[in-house]
Amino acid sequence: MGGAPLVSLLTDFGIRDTYVAEMKAAMLAVDPAIRFVDITHEVSPGDVAGARYFLERTWRRFPVGTVHLVVVDPGVGTERRAIAVSREGHGFVAPDNGVLGAVLDGADVVELAIPDGASPTFHGRDVFAPAAARLVTGVALTSLGTSCADPTRPVLSHARHDDGVMLGHVVHVDQFGNLVTDLPVPDRVDIVLHVGGRDVTPIRRTFGDVAFGELVAYVGSAGTIEVAVRDGSAARMLGLGRGAEVRVMPREP
């Protein structure tokens, strides 16, 4: 590896407070060579499912050896456990509240001890950051805590098939107002997508395949179907947000 130890950060701390910097300083106190990439700190406060989605779509893109520090932690200081996870050469450190739900399959998991003196309201700085720093600088996962056989596995909703109709949901609305769904690439082309009372068909390649201001469905950069408005906001045009239902069905002849 030509690079220094790398930690990605994913939190709901925003960028106005000093919380993210306090976590980075805590990691640099363990090893000043650690480098950081911010995934985002704009997860809605306490939105565990939103953070899980962001992590799921990004972690594999980082180099093997990266440790992902995920702190969306409404239960901080309560009985909820703190965990560290190893999978396919990547490390993960987070509260055990389901935020790592999409990376637990086939992973090794340990429960972290809460050090005496850790602030009961800021485990990000006093529990998770030091553990991430130690993990990324080569400390073995098993040295960080005790084996954990039953990490929290949220019931993940997935798009599902029902009588020729694929039913999914909007899982994210991005900066441009594009609606990201959990619908996989359809295996046939003569389909129609129902969303917000509108029919969109066919699945296009990109925004530019429709006229300005028109709705367009396409396979997005996360590999699932997205709905956008060319040079506009689909979220605003359709009045939809996360959780909205989206259906794909065969196009009537």
Q: Which residues bind its own copies (CB under 8 A)?
A: 1-4, 6, 8, 12-19, 21-22, 24-26, 28-29, 31-42, 45-46, 54, 57-58, 61-63, 74-79, 119-122, 125-126, 174-176, 205-209, 218-221, 226, 228, 231
Query: Least distance in Å: CB of 91 to its own copies?
Result: 15
Would you say 21 or 156 has its CB closer to its own copies? 21
Would you say 98 or 249 has its CB closer to its own copies? 98
Phi, psi of 110 (to 5 degrees): -125, 155
C-alpha span between 31 and 143 (Å, rounded): 17
Pair type for strands 179-184 and 224-229: antiparallel
Query: Least distance in Å: CB of 238 to its own copies?
Result: 17
C-alpha span between 52 and 7 (Å, rounded): 17
Query: Least distance in Å: CB of 220 to its own copies?
Result: 6
Would you say 8 or 249 has its CB closer to its own copies? 8
Query: Least distance in Å: CB of 63 to its own copies?
Result: 5
Would you say 3 or 250 has its CB closer to its own copies? 3
- Return left, alpha or beta for 117; rule: phi > 0 is left, psi -120 to 50 is alpha, else beta: left
C-alpha span between 193 and 250 (Å, rounded): 9
Query: Least distance in Å: CB of 193 to its own copies?
Result: 16
Would you say 167 or 179 has its CB closer to its own copies? 179
Task: Give all strands (DSSP E) within the chain, no chain letters.
Answer: 6-11, 35-40, 67-71, 82-87, 90-95, 108-112, 145-147, 160-162, 165-173, 179-184, 191-195, 198-200, 203-204, 215-219, 224-229, 245-250
